[in-house]
Amino acid sequence: MHEQLNLWSFGDGADPWEVDTQWSDADRFPYNYGESNVESVVVPDLSSSCNPLIITGYTSVAKLVDFLADCYEHLDTFERIRILLGNEPTFTQQQEFRLKHHSFSQQIKDYWLERGISIRLCGKIIAAIELLKTETASVRISGHSRRLIHAKIYKGDRGITLGSSNFSYSGLRHQIEGNTRFTQQEATRFQEASLLAENIWNLGKDYKSELIDLLKQLLREVSWQEALARACAELLEGEWAKRYVKFSHFDDDLPLWLSQEQGIAQALWVIANVGSVLVADATGSGKTRMGAHLLQGVMNRIWGIGRMRQNIPVLICPPNVIDSWEREFTLCGGQNPKIYSHGRLRYQDTDSQNDITLAIRRTQVLAVDEAHNFLNRGTLRTKALFNNMADHVILFTATPINRGCRDLLAIIDLLGADNFDDKVLGILDQIFRRRRGSWNEKISSAEQRVLQRELQRFIVRRTKTMLNNMVDKDPSRYRDRNGKPCRYPEHQPRIYHCNETQGDRDLARAIRSQALHLRGLINLRSTLQVLEARKLDGITDEQYLKSRLRSAAGLAFYHVMSNLRSSIAALLEHIYGTEFVCEHFNIKNEIKAKSTGNILQSLRQAAGKPPKNHLNIELPDWLRDPEQHAQACAEEIQAYERIAQLAREISDARSQAKTQLLFDLLSSHNIVIAFDSHLITLSDFHRRLTQHGDCEVVVATGSNETERNRANKLCQLGSNASRAIILCSDAMSEGLNLQQASAVVHLDMPTVVRVAEQRIGRVDRMDSPHPTVEIFWSKDSPEFAPSTDERFFERHFFVSELIGANMLLPEDIIPASMRQEAIVTPEEIIQEIESAAAANEQWDGLQDAFTPVRNLVSGAQALISQAVYEEILGSKARVVSSVSVVEAKYAWSFFCLAGGKWGAPRWVYFDTPKSTPITDLEEKLGVKGGSGWYSINPPGRGRTGGKKFVVNTNNEFINLSVQKSLTIEAVCAWVKTWANSDAKIITPGKRTISLAGEPLSNCSELQTSGDETANKAILKPHSLQIRGVSKPHSLQMKPQSRSYKPH
């Protein structure tokens, strides 16, 4: 068994740095070793001279800017400053070929425009440009394409150094270099070396104006409006992210929509800055395609920074969209993730489930589609996700997240609690302690704002309105495979009548009356017991029993009326079972895997077997005595039989009206989709529709894969199907694209807005070929229409499945009267959907991470006009950086920093020169305002501002995600502990420690960014060890667990 590599050990072998050797005099032979460095000799020679000459490689421009800026402060002491930029070594033959086609000056320009300049030099660049504009400065480059200049000579008035050192941090301080120096006391050597330098200088050609242009391009002076607009565009438009997204480049590849490109960039930015992301774009926005490219982009970034583990990324999604995801991954290329169905997480202790759990735990990137299905923290499928050790979690959902504490907690858990700061976890800990384990009470407004604002940093969300506006600005960037423009269709709500006869209405009233007398004994079979968590909430046995009894009766009433509204077949199935109904209505197609319903049989089996009782109160006789319980069940059976008899007397008018509507719609729509929540009703309509024989009818449910695929094929974009009717269960209302259809019919009226939105969402897609879609709602007579109480139960079922609701029912649920005046109409539901669509623009109070940035360039409070922003977007100029200096009452600075080859851009704000950087996009945006600002000439005050910022570059490591900053903090503590230990510490170790404490301005070429350092895979286990915590599986990790003492 191999011993684990010790990160801080140099092994048993002797390190070359430890060898105690005698070195030459550093003043005569400048070198970088121990306490000596070349810079301490060369720079004083040059700075104290009236006529310094520097001959160095072109990669030294950054250090030269430093030198020129310092010279500018004492310009009157110099007579002449000369610089010659020579060539760098060519590493490949390919570079030699480049030189034949590109001038040396172009090579210098390409190098620095590609590399960029350190932000700490922003003020010094301005000073360097001002100096170069004077007659004092002269700059040359190699003047011969075949005789390259590779000399390194630094000539001062009293000393000259020749050797290998470039005028860069590496050459002057870090690398082992060999140089020799002659002073005026060695007259012959000094004069000979000076002559050599002068002769090489004479071989050069003028480069002064081009260097000025290059520096200006590296740091372009602009108005504050343009500087801010460019910063906004860097984040919102996402040009930087294209390096991550790869295409197959086949002829049939469909380009990503501009909204998808920007969405990928914004999601990558969130991942780079906070670790995980919740992508919550509106339904129909092309989420699957964008998600596939996003996942590949994340993996490409991980590969690019050398942080790839061997584990395949994992995607969890609904079973009916697995094929869609696989297709998109194939088209976008790269490493395909392992895809698992939601349903496979519901089972425990099976080989299949264990394999999935292992894959989730070991994956580096975990993606979850339709993530709102995982908000119930108590389900097996949700618990399975908490075992992940992923570096990044990517959640997808178009369903708005409720702003209640339970939802917020679940989302924080899924995103990874260790990605949130101590303040947020502290609030959640306080709430948990205050509620003593319960999450049903409302949290304070202040607590809610903090949680929402923190969660906002993880969200990328564009609404339908925003997406349509984006399409309107650049329609050419939104085309389907057939070249047609893409845009969300307009909704045309329509109401149809069910044509109930007066006799049918009387019978429905009688059924309602009978249903109100049901006790709901079928819902009172489980143990009567108040859970400990409910006891801690103060729930008494009396309250619990009243709630159970009300709930049981109310549910029984709801099921009767809900089935009646759907169809007579559905109600009879509820009472007698599937087999009876199929025989009675001559239904042949097998829509269900097994028979359901038959409440009569269930009551007969339960009769005389009252539920177990753990309550310390007296129960009704019929709920505790077996004989009386059997009698109560018999009475309940009789009530159901009377209801069934009444149902058989109802005419076929409602079903005929709906059947006729579906046929009539085929005259104006090629494909019609009809939804009903009861499978037996869909089978009954299939029977009715196929009897006519002149249309294609498909029943699509979640269980029959063949029929589901058939429905997908008929309704896929570009389908030539006509006169097709797709009968769908609500299992087909999520995740599927049926956009070729242009009409949706609600056979039963959904009273939960979310269910209605999901149904409509199947045709409400950006790539819909239809400018408008029609949505049909049933107008039930008052006797059939759902009541407000029934709507309460339907919402309860939806919420229970979504977030695990556990509520007490109101006292007046299902009162003695039928309350027919309190019915729910389709007009109300339509109005609610329209209101919800407007409210969802803010997503129930939750914005996304980029809303504060968008508000700077759009809307009533925008600081940047649309004209300026559009001009920036349309500019083809190659700009590395822009700077603007403005007059303000207080000193402050704002930076948009490039992220390097594999990094994302970052925004940083400083209140004062020595303040802690603020990276929250919302905290300072708009606070300073734009009124009263005006740009000023930067050379004077710009240099001062640049100098002030040098102090702040030491704070770079603070500008990291919570998880990465903790990693850096832990490793730094470990290094310092090691350095101060009694163990033998070698010289380079001490040097490394001292470098860690130096300003970035002193070691910019050597020191890696904090982000790159935190991404080193070797650091992760060590940082967790120091912190004394492991990856939290839920919010059981308390904030105080982050504190640690290095051993």
DSSP conformational letter for 349: S
Sign of the four-CA dihedral 471, 475, 480, 486: positive
**SS3 state at 179:** strand
Please give the structure tokens belonging to residue 793.
């139960």
Query: H helices of 666-784, where?
Result: 679-690, 705-715, 753-760
Q: Concatenated DSSP letters for 953-996?
A: GGGGGGSS-HHHHHHHHHHHHHHHHHHTSSS---HHHHHHHHHH
Please work out, in degrees rounded to the nearest 5, the angle formed at the alpha carbon of residue 908 by the alpha carbons of 906 and 911.
175
Q: What residue ranges in 431-472 does DSSP mark as E strands? A: 459-460
DSSP conformational letter for 443: P
Q: Give the residue-averaged pLDDT of 408-432.
A: 76
Number of other CB atoms surrounding residue 92 within 10 Å: 8
Q: Give the residue-averaged pLDDT of 162-183.
A: 92
Q: Cα(596)–Cα(20) distance, rounded to whole angstroms?
A: 87
What are the residues whose beta carbons fall under 8 Å from the beta carbon of 507, sequence distance 6 or more? 646, 647, 649, 650
Q: Which helix (H) or strand (E) holds 106?
A: helix 104-115
Using pLDDT thresholds of 50, 70 and 90, give the confidence band for residue 605. very high
Q: Concatenated DSSP letters for 189-236?
A: HHHHHHHHHHHHHHTEEE-HHHHHHHHHHHSEE--HHHHHHHHHHHHH
pLDDT value, residue 811: 43
Using pLDDT thresholds of 50, 70 and 90, give the confidence band for residue 4. very low
Q: Give the residue-averaged pLDDT of 170-192.
A: 93
DSSP conformational letter for 92: S
**pLDDT tens-digit map of 464-504:** 888 999 999 899 999 988 888 999 999 889 999 999 999 99
Residue with tokens 């295409």: 247
- The fraction of the chain above a pLDDT of 70, given in percent, is 70
Lowest-pLDDT range, 635-639, 675-679, 972-976? 972-976
Residue 717 and residue 726 in contact, taking contact as beta carbons nearer than 8 Å: no
Residue 813 and residue 734 in contact, taking contact as beta carbons nearer than 8 Å: no
Contacts of range 114-117, beta carbons closer than 8 Å, 24 or more positions apart: 116/218, 116/880, 116/881, 116/898, 117/62, 117/65, 117/218, 117/219, 117/880, 117/881
Q: Which helix (H) or strand (E) holds 243?
A: none
Q: Cα(811)–Cα(804) distance, rounded to whole angstroms?
A: 22
Q: Cα(244)–Cα(267) distance, rounded to whole angstroms?
A: 12
Using pLDDT thresholds of 50, 70 and 90, give the confidence band for residue 146. confident
For the chain, domains (ranges, CATH) are 21-218 (3.30.870.10), 239-417 (3.40.50.10810), 490-498+652-786+823-839 (3.40.50.300), 502-648 (no CATH), 850-879 (no CATH), 880-937 (no CATH), 962-1042 (no CATH)
Q: In terms of pLDDT, which residue wins out, 411 or 901?
A: 411
Q: What residue ranges in 106-208 does DSSP mark as E strands? A: 137-142, 153-155, 159-163, 179-183, 204-206
Gyration radius from the chain CA atoms: 36
Which one, of 30, 47, 29, lies nearest residue 173 by Cα? 30
Residue 210 and residue 217 in contact, taking contact as beta carbons nearer than 8 Å: no
Which one, of 556, 555, 603, lies nearest residue 577 by Cα? 603
Q: Give the residue-averaged pLDDT of 527-553.
A: 82
pLDDT value, residue 164: 94
Using pLDDT thresholds of 50, 70 and 90, give the confidence band for residue 788. low
Using pLDDT thresholds of 50, 70 and 90, give the confidence band for residue 219. confident
Q: How far is CA 765 from CA 128, 456, 760, in A?
A: 55, 25, 10
pLDDT value, residue 247: 52
Q: Cα(344)–Cα(354) distance, rounded to whole angstroms?
A: 10
Q: Cα(426)–Cα(430) distance, rounded to whole angstroms?
A: 6
Residue 194 and residue 187 in contact, taking contact as beta carbons nearer than 8 Å: no
Please work out, in degrees rounded to the nearest 5, the angle formed at the alpha carbon of residue 249 by the alpha carbons of 244 and 253.
100
The answer to whether residue 1024 scores a pLDDT higher than 60 is no
Q: Cα(99)–Cα(148) distance, rounded to whole angstroms?
A: 11
Q: How far is CA 875 from CA 230, 238, 878, in A?
A: 10, 15, 9
Q: How far is CA 91 from CA 95, 96, 151, 599, in A?
A: 7, 9, 17, 82
Q: Give the residue-averaged pLDDT of 569-583.
A: 92
Which one, of 80, 118, 95, lies nearest residue 897 by Cα? 118
pLDDT value, residue 425: 74
Q: Which residues of 302-327 are buried (b: 16+ CB within 10 A; e: fewer)?
A: beebebeeebbbbbbbbbbbbebbee
Residue 343 CB burial class (10 angstroms; 0-12, 13-18, ≥19): exposed
Which one, of 519, 514, 515, 517, lies nearest residue 621 by Cα? 519
Residue 739 and residue 769 in contact, taking contact as beta carbons nearer than 8 Å: yes
Residue 460 and residue 848 in contact, taking contact as beta carbons nearer than 8 Å: yes
The answer to whether residue 418 scores a pLDDT higher than 50 is yes
Q: Cα(896)–Cα(881) distance, rounded to whole angstroms?
A: 9
Q: How far is CA 427 from CA 264, 420, 457, 482, in A?
A: 31, 11, 17, 52
Mean residue pLDDT of the chain comes to 77
Of how many residues is the chain composed?
1047
**Which of the given ranges, 281-295, 743-757, 813-827, has the highest pLDDT on average?**
281-295
Q: What residue ranges in 349-406 does DSSP mark as E strands? A: 365-368, 392-396
Q: Cα(848)–Cα(258) distance, rounded to whole angstroms?
A: 19
Which one, of 317, 254, 285, 325, lies nearest residue 739 by Cα? 285
Residue 291 and residue 369 in contact, taking contact as beta carbons nearer than 8 Å: yes
The answer to whether residue 657 scores a pLDDT higher than 90 is yes
pLDDT value, residue 954: 45
- The fraction of the chain above a pLDDT of 90, given in percent, is 30
pLDDT value, residue 230: 80
Phi/psi at 487 (nearest 5 deg)? Answer: -170, 145
Q: Find how far residue 1010's CA is from the centre of its chain.
A: 22
Lowest-pLDDT range, 258-272, 692-706, 882-896? 882-896
Please give the structure tokens belonging to residue 72.
């500018």
What are the residues whose beta carbons fall under 8 Å from the beta carbon of 667, sequence distance 6 or more? none
pLDDT value, residue 432: 65
Residue 888 and residue 912 in contact, taking contact as beta carbons nearer than 8 Å: no
Q: Cα(229)–Cα(429) distance, rounded to whole angstroms?
A: 40
Beta bridge partners of 697: 725
**pLDDT tens-digit map of 301-319:** 777 665 656 668 999 998 8
Q: Find how far residue 73's CA is from the centre of its chain.
A: 47
Residue with tokens 């109802």: 650
What predicted TM-score, i.e. pTM, was given to this entire model? Answer: 0.70
Q: Concatenated DSSP letters for 751-776?
A: -SHHHHHHHHTTT--TT-S-SEEEEE
Q: In terms of pLDDT, which residue wins out, 826 or 260?
A: 260
**pLDDT tens-digit map of 545-561:** 988 898 888 889 989 99
Please give the structure tokens belonging to residue 149.
């200049």
Nearest 10 degrees: Cα torsion 798, 799, 803, 809: -140
**pLDDT tens-digit map of 76-122:** 899 999 999 988 765 433 333 333 334 667 777 666 666 566 655 66
Q: Concatenated DSSP letters for 893-930?
A: EEEEE---TT---EEEEESSTTSPPB--TTTSTTTS-S
The answer to whether residue 793 scores a pLDDT higher than 70 is no
DSSP β-ladder status, 137-142 and 338-341: unpaired
Which one, of 716, 721, 762, lies nearest residue 743 by Cα? 762
